[in-house]
Structure 1
Amino acid sequence: MAEERNDLFDSASSTGAPVGQDPKNPGRDDKVNRMGSASIPRLITEFAIPSIIGMVVNGAYNIIDSIFLGSAMHETGQAAVTAAVPIMIVFMAISMLIGNGGNALAALRMGEGDRQGAERSLGNTVTLSLIVSAIVALLAFVPPCINGLLSISGTTTEVWEYSKTFIQIISLGFFLQCIGMGVNNFIRTSGNPNRALGTMIIGAVVCVIFNYLFVIVLGWGIAGSACATLAGQAASCVSVLWFFIFTKNVPMKLHKRFMKLERRTVRLILSLGFASFAIQAAAAVVNFVLNNLLVKYGAQSALGQDAALASIGVVSRVAMFTIFPLIGVAVALQPLLGYNYGAHLFKRVRTTLFQGMLGGTVIAVAMWAAVHLWPNQIVGAFGLEDPELIEFTVFALKVQLILLPFVAFQIIGSNYFQATGQPVKSAFLSLTRQVLFLIPLYILLPELLPQIMPQYSGLDALYFAVPMADFLAIFTTVIFMLVELRRMKRLESGELEAAAF
C-alpha cells in the first residue's frame, strides 16, 4: 500500500500547495483552494445538496423508464426492464471505473497544486470513455455476447426480445452515459457543484419529455423508452463537454494535448476507479444471480416467473433509488476528502468524514420513513395491477430496507478509502456486501428459511437476504474505520508521514 501511495503523490512539488494562481485570471482557482480553508459544514452543504439531487436525478432514469413502461405495458414492461438491469449495471460499472477513477485522481492532483496533472486526468478519462464505448456498442450486436448475457440474466422467453432491444439501443449511446455521468464529477471537483447538478437535471427533464412522447403518445414501448434515455444522456453529455471546452475561468479545461493516453495516468485512473467498478460489477453479478433465482422460485410460487421478476424488480429499483442520495453524499465528499488528504490537512479530512456520515445518516432515516409511511403509493406508481402481487411487493420492500438508516455509514466509509488513494481497501469494503455476504445468502437462505420458518417460501427468503448482508457489511466497515482513524492520528502527529507518502 505504501508503494501505491508513493505513486499517487510523488508528482507533487510541495505539500499542501494551492493550485498555482493564473496571473491573467487571479480568481480562477479560488473555488478549488477554498476546499482546504473554508468552513467544512458549509462546504459539505454546498457540495452535498446538488450532488444528492444530481444522484437522485441520475437514478431517476431507471425509475422514469419503469413508470412509463409500467403504465403502457404493466407487468410485462417491468419484467423486461428487470431482466435488462444486470446488463445496464455492467455498463454503469465500466462508466464509473473510468469516470470516478479519473475524478479521484484529479482531486488529489488539485490538492497537490498540480493543475496539469488534473487536466491530464480529465483528457485521458474522455479518451478512455470513447474507446470503451466503441467496444461496448460493438459487443452488444454480436449475437453470442448479447444472447449469452440475456441468458445468464434470467430473461424469460416472453420478454426476451423486449430486453434485447432495450440493451442494444442503450449500448449505442454508451459514450453519452460515460461523459454525462462519469465526467460530470469533474465539474464538482472544479468547485462548481451547482453546475454539475444542472447538467444532470437537463438530462432527466429531456428523458421525461421523450419518454412521454415515445412511450405514451407514439406507443413505441421498450424501444421508445430506450431512445428517450439516450436523449436525456445526450443532453447531459453536451452540457458537460461545454463546461470544460467553452466555459471561461474554470480550474480545469479539456485540452487536446492531454487526451493522448499516458500509461501512468491510465493506470492510476483504473486503480482509483476500481472500487467504484467493483461495487457496480458486484451489483451486476448479484442481479444475474437474483434474476435466475427469481425465475426458479417464482415458478414454484403462485405468482409465477414474470410476476416475481416484476415484483422484486420494483423493490430493487426503489431500493436503489433510496441509496442514490447516500451515494450523492459520498460523491460530494470525494473532492473535499481528496483535496485535503493531498494537502496533508488530516484534521479537516477527519472532520469532513464525521460530518458527512452524520448528514448521510439523517437522509437515510428520512428515506426509510418515507418507504414505511407510503409503501402502497410507491409500489402503485409502477403500474402493478394484481392485488396479491402488490401486497407481496410492499412487504418485500419493507423487509429489504429495514437497515437503511445504517447503510450511509457503509457507503461513505468505503468511498472514503477511494477518495484518499486507498482503492484496495475501498474495493474490499464495497465487495463485502455484494459478493462475500449477499450472494451466498441468496443461494443458501431459500433452502434454509422454509425449513426453519415454514410460513415463508424460497421466494420470500430472497428479500430477507438483503438486510442480513447489510448488517454484516456495516460491521466490517466499522472495523476498517476504527483502524483507519488510529492511522489518521499517527499521520497528524507525523509518525507515518514518510511511509504514507
Structure 2
Amino acid sequence: MGSGNIPALVVEFAVPAILGMLVNGAYNIIDSVFLGHGAGEIGLSAVSVATPIMTVFMAISMLIGAGGNALCALRLGEGKHSEAEHVLGNTFTLGVLVSILLAVLAHVPACIEPLLSLSSATDTVRPYARDFIQIISLGCVFQIVGMGINNFIRTCGAPNRAFLTMLIGAVGCTIFNAIFVMGMGLGVVGSAWATVCGQCISCITVVWYFTKTPGVPLRLRRKYLAMNGALVRKILALGTASFVLQIGAAISQVVTNYALVKYGAMSPIGADNALAAVGVVGRVAMFTILPLIGMSIAVQPLLGFNYGAKLWHRVKKTLAVGMLGATIIGTVLWVLIMVFAAQIIGFFGITDAALVDLSAFALRVNLIFLPIIGFQIVGSNYFQATGQPTKSIILSMTRQILFLVPLTLILPEVLPGILPMFDGLDAVYMAVPCSDFLAIFTVGAFVLVELHRLNKRIAESKSAAQLATSEQAAQPQE
C-alpha cells in the first residue's frame, strides 16, 4: 500500500468494496422486493417505518467497525502490528456487547413503542413494523460483528475475500426470503428471519477468516479481546463520523416518514401508500449511493496507511483517484436512473399507475445530483481515514442533519405557494437534491484547505530530501 501503483491499487480495492456494499445493501432491497410481491403495500410500508431503526443498527455497526478499521490501518502504517491486532480484538468485543444491549432494548415496550411512533407508524402498519424490528434486533450481533470486522479483511489486503463474505450472506438472505415469504407465506416475519439468517452466514465466514485461515496478516487473538479503555475511545472517536452520517440518515428518514404521512394524507394516494411508494424511492436512492460509499471505503486503508507513513504525495493522489472514480460511477448510475426509473419502481411490486408515475418522478428528482455526490462522500471520508474525526463529523452532519432535515420540514410549506404545480408531497422529495447541492460545496471548501496543507507538506518533504542529499554529497570520501 505504500509503494504500489495508486490507480491500480484503488481499482483492486474498489471493485470488491463496491460490490460488497451493494451486496450489504441488497438485504434491504431483497426484503422490499419479496415483501412487495408477497405482502403488498402493507409490507413495504412496514419496512419504511422500520428503516430508521434499522439505520441506527447500521450506524452503530459503522461506529465500531469503521472506527476500528481506520485505527488499525493507521497502526499498520506506523509499523505497530501488535497494536493493530489489539484494535481488531477490541472491535470484536465491543460489537458483541453493544449488539446484546440493542437486542434487549428492542424488546422493551417503553423503548420500541416511542420509536415506532417517532417513525410515524400508522395503526395499520405498527404491528408489522414492530415484529420486523424485534426479529432483526435478535440478529444484530451478526450485523455489527460481521459487517464491522469485514472492513478489516480489506485492510489485510484481501478485498476479494471481504466481498465474498458479504455475497454469501446476501445469497442466503435471498434463498431464505424465497422460502419464508413466497414459499411459506410468512410475510413480514419471514422476511425478517431471512435477513437474520443471511447475516449469520456472513458473520461466520468473517470470524472464520481471522481465526482459522492460515497466513492472515491479522489474527483475532483471545488475549486482545479484553477491553482497553484507551483503544475503545480511539475506535469510537474515529468511527463517530460514520456513526453521525448514519444517524443523520436515520433522523432524515424519521422526518421524511413524518412528512410522507402528513402530506400523503392530504393527497389522493393516502398516507400508507405514500410510505410504501416514496419509501421505496428512498431505499433505491440509498442503494444507488452505496457504490460511492464503497469507493470511499476502498481508498480508506490506502489513505490511512500512507498518511501514517507520511507519504503525502501518495495521500494526495489517492484522494484524487478516489474522487474521480466516484464521479465516473455516479455519472453512469445517473444515466441508468433517468432512463429506467419507472421499471425500477415496478420491480418492487408497485402496480398502480399513479403510484409508479409519482415514485419514478420522485426518484429522478432525488438523484439529480448523483454524478457529483461521490465527491462529497469521498471528501468527507478522507478526514476520517487520516485521523481527523472532528472535520469528518462536521461534514457528515451537513448533508443529512444540517441541510436535509430543515429543508424537508420547510419546503412542503413554502414550495406550493411559489410553484402551485407542486404540492406538499412533491416538496418532500425535492428537499434531497437541495441538501446535496449545499453539502457538495461545503465539502469542497474543506478539501481545498486540506490540499493546500498537503502541498505544503510535500514541499517540506522534498526540501528535507534535497538537504539530506546535499549533506551526504558534501561528506569527504574515504
Alignment of 1:187-336 (within 5 A): 187-336=153-302
1:166 maps to 132
- Contact residue 95 and residue 182 of structure 1 kept, 8 A: yes
Q: Return the alpha-carbon distance in structure 2 between the equivalents of residues 282 and 394 of structure 1.
A: 25
Q: Return the alpha-carbon distance in structure 2 between the equivalents of residues 375 and 491 of structure 1.
A: 46
Q: Does the residue aligned with 1:393 lie in a helix, a strand or coil?
A: helix
Q: Return the alpha-carbon distance in structure 2 between the equivalents of residues 432 and 241 of structure 1.
A: 35
1:147 maps to 113
1:400 maps to 366
Asked if 1:361 is matched to 2:338, the reply is no
- Contact residue 279 and residue 434 of structure 1 kept, 8 A: yes
The Cα shift of 1:307 comes to: 0.6
- Contact residue 86 and residue 224 of structure 2 kept, 8 A: yes
Runs of 4+ in 1 over 4 A off after TM superposition: none
Amino acid of the residue matched to residue 456 of structure 1?
F
1:426 maps to 392
Provide the TM-score with structure 1 as the length reference.
0.91
Asked if 1:371 is matched to 2:337, the reply is yes
The Cα shift of 1:492 comes to: 2.1
Amino acid of the residue matched to residue 61 of structure 2?
S
2:475 maps to none
2:90 maps to 124
1:80 maps to 46
Task: Choose which of 152, 165, 171 in structure 2 pairs with 1:186.
Answer: 152
Q: Deviations over 1:457-477 (max 9, x none)?
A: 011001111100000000001
Amino acid of the residue matched to residue 206 of structure 1?
G
Q: Return the alpha-carbon distance in structure 2 between the equivalents of residues 476 and 117 of structure 1.
A: 35
1:90 maps to 56
Amino acid of the residue matched to residue 352 of structure 1?
T
Amino acid of the residue matched to residue 389 of structure 1?
L
Q: % of aligned pairs identical?
A: 57
Q: Return the alpha-carbon distance in structure 2 between the equivalents of residues 127 and 433 of structure 1.
A: 32
Asked if 1:136 is matched to 2:107, the reply is no
Asked if 1:71 is matched to 2:34, the reply is no
- Contact residue 169 and residue 226 of structure 1 kept, 8 A: yes
Task: Choose which of 402, 407, 410 in structure 2 pairs with 1:444.
Answer: 410
Q: Return the alpha-carbon distance in structure 1 between the equivalents of residues 360 and 459 of structure 2.
A: 52
Q: Return the alpha-carbon distance in structure 2 between the equivalents of residues 420 and 181 of structure 1.
A: 21
Cα RMSD (Å) of the superposition?
A: 1.1
The Cα shift of 1:179 comes to: 1.7
Amino acid of the residue matched to residue 272 of structure 1?
L
The Cα shift of 1:494 comes to: 3.5
Q: Deviations over 1:40-72 (max 9, x none)?
A: 111001100000000000110000000000001
Aligned residues: 463
Q: Return the alpha-carbon distance in structure 2 between the equivalents of residues 112 and 36 of structure 1.
A: 11
- Contact residue 96 and residue 145 of structure 2 kept, 8 A: no
Q: Does the residue aligned with 2:185 lie in a helix, a strand or coil?
A: coil
2:471 maps to none
2:375 maps to 409
The Cα shift of 1:36 comes to: 0.2
The Cα shift of 1:491 comes to: 2.0
Q: Does the residue aligned with 2:227 lie in a helix, a strand or coil?
A: coil
The Cα shift of 1:376 comes to: 1.3
Q: Return the alpha-carbon distance in structure 1 between the equivalents of residues 400 and 12 of structure 2.
A: 31
Task: Choose which of 455, 464, 470 in structure 1 pairs with 2:436.
Answer: 470
2:310 maps to 344
The Cα shift of 1:493 comes to: 3.1
- Contact residue 279 and residue 430 of structure 1 kept, 8 A: yes
Q: Return the alpha-carbon distance in structure 2 between the equivalents of residues 256 and 490 of structure 1.
A: 44
Amino acid of the residue matched to residue 363 of structure 2?
L
- Contact residue 63 and residue 239 of structure 2 kept, 8 A: yes
Q: Does the residue aligned with 1:374 lie in a helix, a strand or coil?
A: helix
- Contact residue 252 and residue 404 of structure 2 kept, 8 A: yes
The Cα shift of 1:411 comes to: 0.1
- Contact residue 74 and residue 385 of structure 1 kept, 8 A: no
Q: Return the alpha-carbon distance in structure 2 between the equivalents of residues 408 and 197 of structure 1.
A: 21
1:110 maps to 76
Q: Return the alpha-carbon distance in structure 2 between the equivalents of residues 198 and 399 of structure 1.
A: 34
- Contact residue 169 and residue 200 of structure 2 kept, 8 A: yes
Residue segments in structure 2 that go unaligned for 5+ positions in a row = 464-478
Amino acid of the residue matched to residue 76 of structure 1?
I
Q: Return the alpha-carbon distance in structure 1 between the equivalents of residues 107 and 431 of structure 2.
A: 35
- Contact residue 199 and residue 236 of structure 1 kept, 8 A: yes
Which is further off, 286-295 or 411-420?
286-295
Q: Deviations over 1:423-455 (max 9, x none)?
A: 110111111011111111011100100000111
Q: Deviations over 1:284-341 (max 9, x none)?
A: 1111111111111111111100011011111001100110000000000000000000
- Contact residue 334 and residue 368 of structure 2 kept, 8 A: yes
Q: Return the alpha-carbon distance in structure 2 between the equivalents of residues 259 and 73 of structure 1.
A: 43
- Contact residue 189 and residue 335 of structure 1 kept, 8 A: yes
1:18 maps to none
Q: Does the residue aligned with 1:385 lie in a helix, a strand or coil?
A: coil
Asked if 1:46 is matched to 2:28, the reply is no
The Cα shift of 1:249 comes to: 1.1
